[in-house]
Amino acid sequence: MHRSSPDDPVARVVEGAVQRLLDDGDRPDDTRLWQALRGTSGGGKRLRPRLLLDAYDALAGAAPPEPRDVAVRVAAALELLHHAFLVHDDVIDGADTRRGRPNVAGVHAAQALESGASARQAEGYGAAAGILAGDLALAAAVRAVALCGAAPAATERLLDVVDEAMHLTADGELADVRLSLGACVDLDETLRTAERKTAVYSFQLPLRAAVVLAGRDDLDEGVRRLGRDLGLAFQLRDDLDGVFGDPAVTGKSNASDLREGKCTPLVALAHGTSAWGELSTVLGDPDAGEPQLRRARELLTECGARAAVETLAADLERDAVALGLSLGLGELAESVAGAHLTRASSAA
């Protein structure tokens, strides 16, 4: 699985399909919501549609039960589902930007400020826009799956898989917020949360949809496990990037997780070690400066938490590659695991 580029034919097909899904708004406020969503949906790796299409291509055989254009429509629907989750996630986090650009909430908040609204009113308007845009995108994604053109039995199965993923992802998102309310919990709970928040819809869902479209329901349990391993490894690498990565390479802050005191597996592993007393004075401090953040990184390394997370991620990637080979998805698993390792090499 390769990173998309401007001349990547798969990226072009998926981009076109996503944009067609975003062309349905025909009322003033509704259209503004769609335009804001369209503006924030461009770019990115298109991870989920590419996983689906690569898995479909590997499993479909010479005469698949569903043609590839149906798979492309489902892939586009999952990308729109992803953006719906991102929009809602930004509202939950109170964020008005994503990847350095105003998100849906940020665009609408800025419009409200320009019209003379107070900062509080603008924030509320932006949050409302984010909730509504996310709701519309969720509905459009499910509608796109329902109208993808697959046979009725396959469409019903796809809708079941999407519905299950949405429920589990909501559960994981709420658990993630709950974990931020108090002391960091044990490793197992942080891993369960990561599985439901990230692995289920970003990895398991595309792979399970590909299995349905390729007529390989016998592989459903196997791709669930494959998606879990790849998704958890992905999240663990992302957690490492969020503390030790170079923002110029990773595109994300290496300070916000520490300043928020985010309860990740990395932090859970440090809890209870001799480093925790000093480390806990930095975690959750929104005003922590670079010297304090640098010391927190040193403590997370010295107590063994960083090495433990790196080992766990590598073990999951190794298991995923072995499982992928047994499922006929070895090249896909190796490619995704290799992308994880490439990201990990950017860590400071």
Average pLDDT over residues 91-116: 88
Domain residue extents for the chain = 1-150, 151-348
Check whether 28 has a pLDDT greater than 60: no
pLDDT of residue 4: 47
- Rounded to whole angstroms, the Cα distance separating 143 from 145 reads 5
Work out whether the CA dihedral 6, 7, 12, 14 comes out positive or negative. Answer: negative
Average pLDDT over residues 285-296: 95
pLDDT of residue 95: 85
Burial letters for 106-136: b for 16+ Cβ neighbours within 10 Å, e otherwise? bbbbebbbeeeeeeeebbebbbebbbbbbeb
Share of the chain above pLDDT 70, in %: 86
- Reported as a pLDDT band with limits 50, 70 and 90, residue 348 is very low
What is the architecture, at CATH level 2, of domain 151-348?
A: Orthogonal Bundle (1.10)
| CA angle, residues 163, 171, 78, in degrees to nearest 5 | 40
- Reported as a pLDDT band with limits 50, 70 and 90, residue 293 is very high
pTM reported for the whole predicted model: 0.88
pLDDT of residue 11: 59
Neighbours of 153 (CB within 10 A): 10
pLDDT of residue 269: 95
- Rounded to whole angstroms, the Cα distance separating 193 from 171 reads 8
Domain 1-150: CATH superfamily is Farnesyl Diphosphate Synthase (1.10.600.10)
pLDDT of residue 249: 83
Work out whether the CA dihedral 302, 306, 312, 315 comes out positive or negative. Answer: negative
Does residue 248 or residue 165 have the better pLDDT?
165
Task: Identify whether the C-beta of residue 74 lies closer than 8 Å to the C-beta of residue 209.
Answer: yes
- Reported as a pLDDT band with limits 50, 70 and 90, residue 181 is confident
Residues 6+ apart with CB under 8 A from 312: 236, 265
CA-nearest of 72, 74, 102, 103 to 87 is 103
- Reported as a pLDDT band with limits 50, 70 and 90, residue 35 is confident
Does residue 251 or residue 203 have the better pLDDT?
203
Average pLDDT, the chain: 87
pLDDT of residue 6: 45
